[in-house]
Amino acid sequence: MVDGQLVLHEWEARVYHRTGGSDCAVCMPTGFRADRPGAVYLLYHPVAQLVKVGITNCDPQGRNSHRFAYFASRGWELVRLWHHPHGLRVRRLETAVHALLADRGGVYLTDRSAMPGATTGWTETIRVASVGTTTDVEQLISQLAEKHLGDEAALPEAA
């Protein structure tokens, strides 16, 4: 049961995580929920020359906007969001983006200490020069969004 509704799904998880509901995109109590609307976001840190591509169920102007305020207070700029009513498609888009960035030589951070302002999410943060410019990354995400989000995709929002 999730939010009072029966959810039938299978999810591979480590035995020690099963009782706490972690590792399951539907059952886990925090983090991204694939069963809810979501968005891929692109953040840019101009001083550190980093881009961060992640997913969220948050709206920077509404519910849980503190997440984006947290990043902004540490020098990150929200470049763009790609919304979709189905979180699973959002997760698939994020996976495709990171796979393509890695294939194109994207240099990912290797530990949290490299994140400016001790922000989180270093595993999804890339040195922008290794993949071109922030605009190049934005265009790449937009191209993949057409494929992975399909006709139901909302238009991307400029920040």
pLDDT digits (tens, 9 = 90+) for 56-98: 987 666 655 777 888 999 999 999 999 999 889 999 999 999 9
- Helix (H), strand (E) at residue 52: strand 50-56
pLDDT at 159 over 90: no
What's the pLDDT score for residue 1? 42
The whole-angstrom distance between residue 57's C-alpha and the CA centroid of its chain comes to 9
What's the pLDDT score for residue 110? 84
Summary mean pLDDT of the chain: 79
What's the pLDDT score for residue 45? 95
User: What does residue 39 show for φ and ψ, rounded to 5 degrees?
Assistant: -155, 145
Total-model pTM: 0.75
Selection from 77, 76, 125 nearest residue 102 by Cα: 125
Q: What is the pLDDT of residues 24-33, one digit of tens each?
A: 545 555 578 8
pLDDT at 36 over 80: yes
What's the pLDDT score for residue 132? 94
User: Which two tokens mark 105?
Assistant: 């030589």
Residues 72/26, Cβ–Cβ less than 8 Å = no
Residues 131/105, Cβ–Cβ less than 8 Å = yes
Q: What is the pLDDT of residues 11-21, one digit of tens each?
A: 455 544 444 54
Distance CA 93, CA 142 (A): 10
What's the pLDDT score for residue 154? 46
pLDDT at 103 over 70: yes
Tell me the domain boundaries of the chain: 1-30, 31-158
